[in-house]
Structure 1
């Protein structure tokens, strides 16, 4: 991935997460056809043509065919598309896709008054991992960010949400939390992984869970899913430093 900063003049975007695509369009995941759910989201958004950030678990079965379906769905998308790996994803496949328009390889986006950082939280298990070298890179980015407000997008959550998925959160979260609490420019993070729409408004930062385009997870001690239709999250980062989000349902 390039260390360059991608500049975009528009203050709004849409986050899509946990698509769980399989090798064929009609394949089932938890009772739904994830390809058709994602296609509906994209069809509904096409006229708006927002920049897209996809925050992981884009595939369910790790197959090359599932990434081919993703590429085909987005091949003519009229705005940039950024891909982050989740625990189900293959970095190599995403890196390859990110070299093909409309996909972009950058991990920093500059909007008017803001920088959005796309953090790779994928580890060797379903839980998140953010080793020391990645944390050191964020410190370098802080030094280069000037007075811009900063917001993170990633796959795994830092703060517990109170369900079974907390066993698979960001395991080495201490350094990231310390950075969020000490740096006033860092306004918070949005993530996937939990398949659950919620927000935590803390004094130092916010944590926002984007609902999945596939199925939602119930807030229970064991894994239970529910089809609420495809979902996503719209974000607005205003040049004067305000932060707004809206959970979408299609």
Structure 2
């Protein structure tokens, strides 16, 4: 069936403006931050990749994340939001984010259009480099994408600005971007990471209050420690790539999200949570998409 979306009004539904109050937390509990990545949504509700309805799997993962017991204090989406780069796809996402009622932060991936993100997601669309404080924690967002490329690169200005932000604010910090800043051991995926990721990590190495660098793009869970901080990758809300595979291959593991607990004393706890099963069958023998 052809993916033809109905017409939609130009007025968009922007998600809530991110919370910027830097005052200390009024409660002792850790902040609960949700990371969701690589939703690959379509304008049409029945849009599919590799046989999977990406909107349906996204809705299932988001519902699981928001029903996690402790209320979520924020939601970060780390790119590849809309597969077909349509206004209708971003308008749908804007409505969903607005309905969450929590601060939302979105950065682009290689399948996104920044102009449509800014038009439809409003304040939730992060710029080339942006930062936001939530109860003593600083969140830094980087756009690592290059137009027309699967891999990414950071500009000299972005790297310098991030260094300045880290020098200025000694509070615990997380950095989010789309592409992975170092090899993950999957040869085909490692051709499309951040080409100057070493420059980013060299800056991170100098700031002991940085707790983690967190990416999307790789459609799999990834975790490695580097000195005082972690480098983390997160599953997609749709299909998963097989870890350590030299070529494109899908993993039978289910979609999921990353949960981050940001403690008042600067400690970070994190885990990946997955759906119990795929919402519908997946073409596991696919050789690409």
| Corresponding residue number in structure 2 for 1:177 | 201
CA contact (8 A) 1:113 1:240 kept: no
| Corresponding residue number in structure 1 for 2:20 | 6
2:272 pairs with 1:247: yes
List alignment gaps of at least 5 residues for structure 1. none
| Equivalent-residue separation in structure 2 for 1:99 and 1:88 (angstroms) | 19
| Corresponding residue number in structure 2 for 1:86 | 109
Largest Rg, 1 or 2: 2
Alignment of 1:18-167 (within 5 A): 18-47=38-67, 48-99=71-122, 103=124, 105=126, 107-124=130-147, 125-145=149-169, 147-163=170-186, 164-167=188-191
CA offsets, 1:140-197, max 9 Å, x none? 212321x202210111111211112110000112321110112212222011000011
| Equivalent-residue separation in structure 2 for 1:115 and 1:55 (angstroms) | 16
Relative to the length of structure 1, the TM-score reads 0.90
CA contact (8 A) 1:15 1:54 kept: yes
CA contact (8 A) 1:187 1:206 kept: yes
CA offsets, 1:78-120, max 9 Å, x none? 10111100111111111223326xx365722213332111111
| Corresponding residue number in structure 1 for 2:261 | 236
Q: CA RMSD in A?
A: 2.1
| Equivalent-residue separation in structure 2 for 1:117 and 1:212 (angstroms) | 21
| Equivalent-residue separation in structure 1 for 2:19 and 2:207 (angstroms) | 20
| Equivalent-residue separation in structure 1 for 2:45 and 2:252 (angstroms) | 17
List alignment gaps of at least 5 residues for structure 2. 1-17, 276-289
Deviation at 1:50, TM superposition (A): 4.0
SS at match of 2:122: coil
SS at match of 2:49: coil
CA contact (8 A) 1:86 1:122 kept: yes
* Closer/same/farther in 2, CA of residues 227 and 62 from structure 1, 3 Å limit: farther
| Equivalent-residue separation in structure 2 for 1:121 and 1:49 (angstroms) | 26
CA contact (8 A) 1:195 1:217 kept: yes
2:238 pairs with 1:214: yes
| Equivalent-residue separation in structure 1 for 2:264 and 2:251 (angstroms) | 37
* Closer/same/farther in 2, CA of residues 69 and 223 from structure 1, 3 Å limit: same
Deviation at 1:22, TM superposition (A): 1.4
SS at match of 2:77: strand
| Corresponding residue number in structure 2 for 1:188 | 212
CA contact (8 A) 1:80 1:104 kept: no
Deviation at 1:49, TM superposition (A): 4.4
Relative to the length of structure 2, the TM-score reads 0.78
